[in-house]
């Protein structure tokens, strides 16, 4: 079942994720599957507060009302999309992973309103990032939806504003097969949004320098080698992509800091789920979690198995 699956729990971040998913579904001409999962030991706060009496029947009704209200807040009459609403009795992470197993995309909020918060990133979101076989988009409250971006583009066009000012899709690459998947996914998204694509690789020069050689000479040689490898990687990733505005950036520094800086004014930051030591590893651990937690734009993590 293709389409976009989005996790809903009534929290601010989940509402932002739902708005983003509605806009993205409209751009893609896709359907939206909204899922609110609840269980007695892990129930969204908004559902508990609405449950007027103990017992699963009462909680089930409250869960459905929270879901319906969330969908109603997110709908945009200018850009209608088909929406399926499902309130299910299940572990939230398991329900979202199951629902998205054949979907195009899974969208979740940075943090939910559940009792379990094991990480700075919410526990459900963390589980989805680690286990999903489809690209996962993490959205925090305050980020613009795809529909908002489309409205801004319409306004800019009406005002004859230079289209180069469009917020870019930023993708981090490290030379691995996984980052190649992320690059292709980001390129397709840039085409969808009629946005420029910024390809970023963070690198650090080799610490050991040959004796008798000037440090600057070695660094320049290393940088040329890295630049050539980066160009080859991007050429392979974009071989079948229509002509788009591409900016390839080789930045000296750590992966997370470099990517967060590059994505400061982006519409989307895209990462592979893990690197393979090709250039600088973009692991789902430190780099991805720092980007997911600190980026001001939605962050997409593309797994190995994603198309």
| Of residues 124 and 289, more confidently modeled | 124
Task: Judge whether 148 lies within some domain.
Answer: no
Task: Judge whether 52 lies within some domain.
Answer: yes
Task: Judge whether 155 lies within some domain.
Answer: no
pLDDT confidence tier of residue 140, bands split at 50, 70 and 90: very high
Q: Is the dihedral of CA 15, 21, 23, 26 positive or negative?
A: negative
Q: What is the pLDDT of residues 206-245, one digit of tens each?
A: 544 444 444 555 778 888 888 999 999 999 999 888 888 9
Give the pLDDT confidence score for residue 157 in this predicted structure: 40
* Backbone φ/ψ region at 3: left (φ over 0), alpha (ψ -120 to 50), beta: left
Q: What is the pLDDT of residues 26-45, one digit of tens each?
A: 999 999 999 999 988 888 98
Whether the CB-CB separation of 281 and 275 falls below 8 Å is answered with yes
Task: Judge whether 214 lies within some domain.
Answer: yes
Residues 84 and 24 in one domain: yes
Instruction: Using the predicted structure, report yes or no on whether residue 183 has a pLDDT greater than 80.
Output: yes
Residues 177 and 131 in one domain: no
pLDDT confidence tier of residue 177, bands split at 50, 70 and 90: confident
Q: Residue 291 and residue 305: Cα distance in Å, rounded?
A: 21
User: Which helix (H) or strand (E) is 201 found in, with range?
Assistant: strand 197-203
Q: Is 273 helix (H, G, I), strand (E, B) or coil?
A: coil
| Of residues 107 and 253, more confidently modeled | 107
Q: State the pTM of this model.
A: 0.86
Residues 178 and 84 in one domain: no
Q: What is the pLDDT of residues 83-130, one digit of tens each?
A: 999 999 999 999 999 999 999 999 999 986 654 444 445 789 989 998
Give the pLDDT confidence score for residue 123 in this predicted structure: 85
Instruction: Using the predicted structure, report yes or no on whether residue 193 has a pLDDT greater than 50.
Output: yes
Q: Residue 108 and residue 54: Cα distance in Å, rounded?
A: 28
**Main-chain dihedrals φ then ψ at residue 52, nearest 5 degrees:** -80, -10
Enter the tokens of residue 196: 């420029």
CA distances from 101 to 8, 43, 149 (A): 17, 23, 28
The number of domains in the chain is 2
Whether the CB-CB separation of 291 and 256 falls below 8 Å is answered with yes
Give the pLDDT confidence score for residue 1 in this predicted structure: 59
Task: Judge whether 146 lies within some domain.
Answer: no
Q: Residue 55 and residue 264: Cα distance in Å, rounded?
A: 46
Q: Residue 273: which domain range?
A: 162-302
Q: Is 58 helix (H, G, I), strand (E, B) or coil?
A: helix
| Domain end (from 139, 154, 184) | 139
Percent of the chain with pLDDT over 70: 79
For residue 221, how far is the Cα from the chain centroid? Answer: 35
Q: Is 73 helix (H, G, I), strand (E, B) or coil?
A: helix
Enter the tokens of residue 202: 């963070």
Instruction: Using the predicted structure, report yes or no on whether residue 298 has a pLDDT greater than 90.
Output: yes
Task: Judge whether 282 lies within some domain.
Answer: yes
Please tell me the total number of residues recorded for the chain in this structure. 307
User: Which helix (H) or strand (E) is 36 found in, with range?
Assistant: strand 32-38
Nearest to 193 by CA among 168, 172, 160: 168
User: Among 51-55, 124-128, 209-213, 249-253, where is mean pLDDT lowest?
Assistant: 209-213
pLDDT confidence tier of residue 304, bands split at 50, 70 and 90: confident
Q: What is the CATH number of the domain that holds 115?
A: 3.40.50.620
Residues 14 and 131 in one domain: yes
Task: Judge whether 166 lies within some domain.
Answer: yes
């Amino acid at each position: 079942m293709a389409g976009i699956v989005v996790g809903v729990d009534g929290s601010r971040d989940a509402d932002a994720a739902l708005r983003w998913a509605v806009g993205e579904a409209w751009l893609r001409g896709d359907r939206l599957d909204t899922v609110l999962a609840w269980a007695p030991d892990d129930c969204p706060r908004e559902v508990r507060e609405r449950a007027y009496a103990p017992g699963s029947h009462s909680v089930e009704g409250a869960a459905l009302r929270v879901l319906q209200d969330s969908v109603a807040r997110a709908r945009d009459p200018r850009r209608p999309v088909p929406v399926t609403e499902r309130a299910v009795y299940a572990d939230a992470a398991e329900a979202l992973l199951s629902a998205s197993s054949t979907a195009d995309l899974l969208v979740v909020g940075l943090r939910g309103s559940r009792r379990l918060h094991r990480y700075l990133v919410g526990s459900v979101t963390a589980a989805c990032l680690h286990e999903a076989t489809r690209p996962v988009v993490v959205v925090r409250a305050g980020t613009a939806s795809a529909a908002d971006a489309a409205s801004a583009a319409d306004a800019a066009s009406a005002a004859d504003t230079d289209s180069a000012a469009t917020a870019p899709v930023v993708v981090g690459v490290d030379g691995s097969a996984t980052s190649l998947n992320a690059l292709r996914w980001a390129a397709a998204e840039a085409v969808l949004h009629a946005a420029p694509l910024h390809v970023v690789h963070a690198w650090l020069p080799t610490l050991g320098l040959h004796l008798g050689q000037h440090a600057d000479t070695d660094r320049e040689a290393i940088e040329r080698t890295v630049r050539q490898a980066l160009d080859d990687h991007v050429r392979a990733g974009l071989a079948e992509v229509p002509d788009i505005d591409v900016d390839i950036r080789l930045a000296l520094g750590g992966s997370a800091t470099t990517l967060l800086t590059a994505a400061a004014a982006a519409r989307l930051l895209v990462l592979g789920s893990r690197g393979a030591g090709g250039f600088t590893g973009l692991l789902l651990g430190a780099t991805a979690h720092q980007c997911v937690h600190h980026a001001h734009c939605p962050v997409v993590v593309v797994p190995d198995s994603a198309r």
